[in-house]
Amino acid sequence: MPPAVRLVLASASPQRRAILEQLGVAFTVVPSDVEELTAGDPHEVAMENARRKAAAVPGDPVLGVDTLVALDGRIYGKPRDEAQARATLGVLAGRTHQVVSGVAVSPPMRTAVAVTDVTFRDLDGAWIDWYVGLGEWRGRAGGYAIQGRGAALVREIRGDYLNVVGLPVPTLLDLLPFLLQPADRGAPLR
């Protein structure tokens, strides 16, 4: 049986930390300070940003993740202010968008992309004003947090819920199958 893995998380995201803690993964946090791409093909942008994060931090293994929201090929990042948050939520209202996460683990560098479809309810101005007024949109791709009150905006998801929160666990385990070692099995989850 391989030795226990101590992961280096190249992110300051409290959501990613919480997911790893929930799984019982031993990890340290070393946020990367890299310039992120903000435009281009959403899958390529997410994967390249994750790769940059994993490559910028020393350790073995290092996990870099980038999560973004895309609709019709356009990336909707973290809104810079309330007006942009309102505009983003207005575009997403009543439609299905994709939450795309690039996941990178190094060394050696391995990458993968996870996609979850999220359908928003029809949202009128009052709903959008309510949500923006909460401030939960700050620092969130697409301007919402599904694990918080943003769940009220969502009609349906298809795919990995934790991807929408910020860390697609099945994708991570595909790249690091020995991350979790069930004591009674002595083998990684498959």
What residues have CB less than 8 Å from 160, skipping those under 6 apart?
114, 116, 168, 169, 170, 171
DSSP 112: E
Is residue 184 among the annotated active site residues? no
d(CA 139, CA 175): 27
DSSP 24: T
* DSSP state string for 37-89: P-SS-HHHHHHHHHHHHHHHS-SSSEEEEEEEEEETTEEE---SSHHHHHHHH
Task: Single out the catalytic residue among 60, 66, 124, 160.
Answer: 66
d(CA 173, CA 154): 27
- b/e sequence 1-12, b meaning 16+ C-beta within 10 Å: eeeeeebbbbbe
Instruction: Give the residue numbers marked as catalytic.
Output: 66
